[in-house]
């Protein structure tokens, strides 16, 4: 099936995932974002690019943090933002998802920012909107199941490019619960597309999915080995719900084997940067000395994240069917 995120001219009409996104489009988003970074620092933080447009935050899965970043990005583009907690809404009244979507589209929505617990839900919505010729609505995936979290992947690339300039010489390690991480999946696709020299994944075997090698990734279960000589360390959040299950013995045990401490970080290159998508579990996947240390660029990720989301929203809303 054709990826519905690109229109017939190859322009970005929806952002559904980084998988399948050409390098040129990723670079266009990152270049556009860099013009927005400075806006955040001005007294007047708004541009009129989406003035009069209606952005709907459709969060079928609750995430205040991510919703907030999209809300700020949209408001700084001068759009009107409507927040819908769909979980608590019509879905519970027995209406089908597509009926809900058609209804909102009929209100002349311009954009749906979609977070959903089911992998592929934003893809399904975009496909439906295209099939029914509701081309005025653009879908941005804000995280779907274990599939992708493309704006997080893009802001991670922005951050790496900001600190390291060129991808072609970089070794990047992604550490932790890769199995359940849509961030990891988006990062891997982005890094391989942008031509990173080496992408590594580090984690316990129970938290690593199959098929990583086919994605062009080197797999490590020993953290000390995996960190050797890397330029970038991307730590993943360990979700609490994993800890008491069969997948992990305990958080203390996890920290002992995969927590990023200053000693472990010393195995990476001296100028290696440390990233984390947040929210952090200090003392579980990351030591506070690292989280607050000079190599951490975690808060820069947040700042760049607003600019990247502004770039994505303005690019897709400017495209045609």
Binding footprint of a second copy on the chain (CB under 8 A): 40-46, 51-54, 62, 64-65, 68-69, 71-72, 75-76, 80, 82, 84-86, 88-90, 93-96, 99-100, 102-108, 240, 278-282, 284, 299-300, 302-303, 305-306
Task: Evaluate whether 215 touches 43 at the Cβ level (below 8 Å).
Answer: no
Nearer of residues 94 and 245 to a second copy, judged by Cβ: 94
Element (H, E) at 36: helix 23-41
| Residue with Cβ nearer a second copy (64 or 168) | 64
Assign 3-state DSSP to the chain and report helix, strand, coil percentages, each to 5: 45, 15, 40
Closest approach of Cβ 161 to a second copy, in Å? 18
Tell whether 65 is in a known binding site: yes
Tell me the closest approach of the beta carbon of residue 307 to a second copy, in angstroms: 10
Q: Give the whole-angstrom CA distance, residue 159 versus residue 34.
A: 11
| Beta carbon nearer to a second copy, 99 or 263 | 99
Q: Name the minimum Å distance from CB 268 to a second copy.
A: 23
**Beta carbon of residue 111, minimum distance to a second copy (angstroms, whole number):** 13
Whether 93 has a binding-site annotation, put simply, is yes
Report which of 143, 221, 235, 126 is spatially closest to residue 186, judged by C-alpha positions.
Answer: 143
The SS3 of residue 63 is coil
Q: Nearest distance from residue 231's CB to a second copy, in Å?
A: 23
Q: Which is nearer to a second copy, 82 or 215 (CB)?
A: 82
Strand runs labelled E in the chain: 54-59, 80-84, 111-116, 138-144, 171-175, 198-202, 217-220, 232-235, 273-275
Q: Consult the annotation and say whether 32 binds a ligand.
A: no
Whole-angstrom distance, CA of residue 7 vs CA of residue 204: 40
Find out whether 122 and 141 touch, Cβ atoms under 8 Å.
yes
Q: Enumerate the known binding-site residues.
A: 65-66, 93, 115, 149, 152, 182, 237, 278-279
Which residues fall in the annotated binding site for carbamoyl phosphate?
Answer: 65-66, 115, 149, 152, 278-279
Binding residues for L-aspartate: 93, 182, 237
């Amino acid at each position: 099936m054709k990826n519905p995120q690109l229109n017939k001219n190859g322009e970005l009409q929806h952002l559904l995932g980084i998988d399948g996104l050409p390098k040129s489009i990723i670079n266009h988003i990152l270049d556009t974002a860099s013009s927005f970074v400075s806006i955040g620092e001005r007294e007047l933080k708004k541009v009129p690019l989406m003035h009069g447009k209606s952005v709907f935050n459709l969060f079928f899965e609750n995430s205040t943090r991510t919703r907030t970043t999209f809300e700020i990005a949209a408001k700084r583009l001068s759009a009107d933002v409507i927040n819908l907690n769909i979980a608590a809404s019509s879905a519970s009244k027995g209406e089908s998802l597509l009926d809900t979507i058609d209804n909102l589209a009929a209100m002349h929505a311009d954009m749906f920012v979609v977070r959903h617990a089911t992998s592929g839900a934003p893809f399904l919505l975009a496909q439906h909107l295209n099939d029914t010729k509701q081309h005025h609505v653009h879908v941005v995936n804000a995280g779907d199941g274990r599939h992708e979290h493309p704006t997080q992947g893009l802001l991670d690339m922005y951050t790496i490019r900001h600190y390291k300039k060129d991808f072609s010489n970089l070794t990047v390690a992604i550490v932790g619960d890769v199995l359940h991480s849509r961030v990891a999946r988006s990062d891997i696709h982005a890094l391989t597309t942008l031509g990173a020299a080496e992408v590594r994944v580090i984690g316990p075997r129970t938290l690593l999915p199959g098929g990583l090698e086919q994605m062009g990734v080197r797999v490590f279960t020993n953290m000390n080995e995996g960190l050797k000589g890397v330029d970038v360390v991307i730590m993943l959040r360990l979700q609490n719900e994993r800890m008491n299950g069969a997948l992990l013995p305990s958080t203390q045990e996890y920290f002992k084997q995969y927590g990023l401490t200053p000693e472990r970080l010393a195995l990476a290159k001296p100028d290696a940067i440390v990233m984390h998508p947040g929210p952090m579990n200090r003392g579980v996947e990351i030591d506070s000395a690292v989280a607050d240390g000079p190599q951490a660029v975690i808060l820069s990720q947040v700042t760049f994240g607003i600019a990247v989301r502004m770039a994505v929203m303005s690019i897709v809303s400017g495209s045609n069917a």
